[in-house]
């Protein structure tokens, strides 16, 4: 089982001929909305990869449609609470090359119930997984609870905050960052990635693939990305993360999990949207074949 203490957002997409500069106003050519948030995206990716995932989160009174969307994707939504705060949302601007700029309002994501988190994780068994991102409250508390019950704890450290990462490091099994974030953390802590105090570090490099660093064996496994023509890169990293964690939780080797994740991310960037763009495991297997 994978438990995901994760954000849930309503995403609003605006397609533009190019991304605006400081002080500039541009007219959007298209607008759409859908389920998003790093946590929700990753839960959908896990479910579509064929693994069991229980989402722990919160929405406002206007967020029932987001819960329904998660449930339709195969996510266990019984532990999503209703908050008095507004549902979180994101404004996503996308240019003609598929690159994006995103503004997030955290809302109910920062109103997680400590009692709910503790109750759900008390049901976890050794070898289960907890996935976290930096878009909710109760991260450090949940990580410590899960580690204390011998769960594998994964931290998808975005939006990046070196202090938040440092607080969670003692509880982590796997730390996931992009290349820029890895460099920033190494600089803050004064050490190289292979010397970070966590068993495994996954560094994503966009179109150049990803590196899996085993800090116990001091070994690095590199997996290339699949070349595709991107339409919208929003959510590609979440797709990759969800597929990696799903693969590891079901016994796949890091190499196999990363290769499937790279294929899933490649498919996702050829589609518009975030959660709606995440492929099923059948689509991934067909792509790899």
The confidence score (pLDDT) of residue 167 equals 93
Two structure tokens written together for 30 = 């298209």
pTM: 0.92
Residue 136: what are its φ and ψ, rounded to 5°? -135, 165
The confidence score (pLDDT) of residue 43 equals 98
CA-based end-to-end distance of the chain: 28
CATH architecture of 2-16+31-288: 3-Layer(aba) Sandwich (3.40)
Indicate if 211 belongs to the active site. no
The confidence score (pLDDT) of residue 102 equals 87
The confidence score (pLDDT) of residue 274 equals 86
DSSP codes of every residue in 69-133: HHHHTT-EEEEEEE-SSPPEEEEEEE-TTS-EEEEEE-GGGG---HHHHHHHHHT--TT-EEEEE
Two structure tokens written together for 153 = 């704890």
* 37-88 residue pLDDT tens: 999 999 999 999 999 999 999 999 999 999 999 999 999 999 999 999 999 9
Residue 147 sits at the vertex; the CA angle it makes with 143 and 150, to the nearest 5 degrees, is 145
Spot the catalytic one: 11, 76, 128, 238: 238
Local confidence band at 15 (pLDDT 50, 70, 90 cut-offs):
very high
pLDDT of 100 higher than 90: no
pLDDT of 263 higher than 90: yes
Query: Mean of the pLDDT values across residues 177-192?
Result: 92
Local confidence band at 99 (pLDDT 50, 70, 90 cut-offs):
confident
The confidence score (pLDDT) of residue 237 equals 94
Two structure tokens written together for 167 = 């607080």
pLDDT of 168 higher than 90: yes
Evaluate whether 240 touches 204 at the Cβ level (below 8 Å): yes
């Amino acid at each position: 089982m994978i438990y995901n203490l994760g954000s849930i957002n309503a995403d609003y997409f605006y397609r533009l001929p190019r991304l605006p500069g400081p002080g500039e106003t541009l007219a959007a050519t298209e607008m759409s909305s859908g389920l998003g948030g790093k946590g929700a995206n990753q839960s959908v990716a896990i479910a579509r990869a064929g693994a069991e995932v229980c989402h722990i989160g919160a929405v406002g009174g206007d967020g029932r449609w987001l819960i329904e969307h998660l449930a339709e994707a195969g996510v266990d939504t019984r532990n999503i609470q209703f908050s008095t705060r507004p549902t979180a949302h994101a404004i996503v601007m996308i240019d003609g090359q598929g690159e994006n700029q995103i503004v997030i309002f955290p809302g109910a994501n920062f109103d997680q119930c400590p009692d709910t988190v503790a109750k759900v994780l008390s049901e976890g068994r050794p070898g289960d997984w907890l996935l976290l991102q930096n878009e909710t409250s109760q991260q450090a508390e949940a990580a410590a609870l899960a580690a204390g019950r011998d769960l594998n704890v994964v931290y998808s450290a975005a939006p990046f905050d070196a202090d938040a990462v440092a607080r969670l490091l003692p509880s982590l099994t796997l730390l996931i960052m992009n290349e820029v974030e890895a460099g920033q953390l190494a600089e803050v802590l004064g050490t190289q990635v292979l010397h970070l105090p966590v068993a495994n570090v996954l560094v994503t490099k966009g179109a150049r693939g990803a590196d899996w660093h085993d800090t116990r064996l001091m070994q690095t496994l590199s997996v290339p990305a699949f070349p595709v023509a991107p339409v919208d890169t929003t959510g590609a990293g979440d797709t990759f993360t969800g597929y990696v964690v799903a693969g590891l939780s079901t016994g796949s080797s890091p190499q196999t999990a990363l290769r499937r994740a790279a294929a899933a991310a490649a498919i996702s960037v050829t589609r518009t949207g975030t959660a709606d763009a995440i492929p099923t495991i059948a689509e991934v297997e067909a792509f790899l074949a």
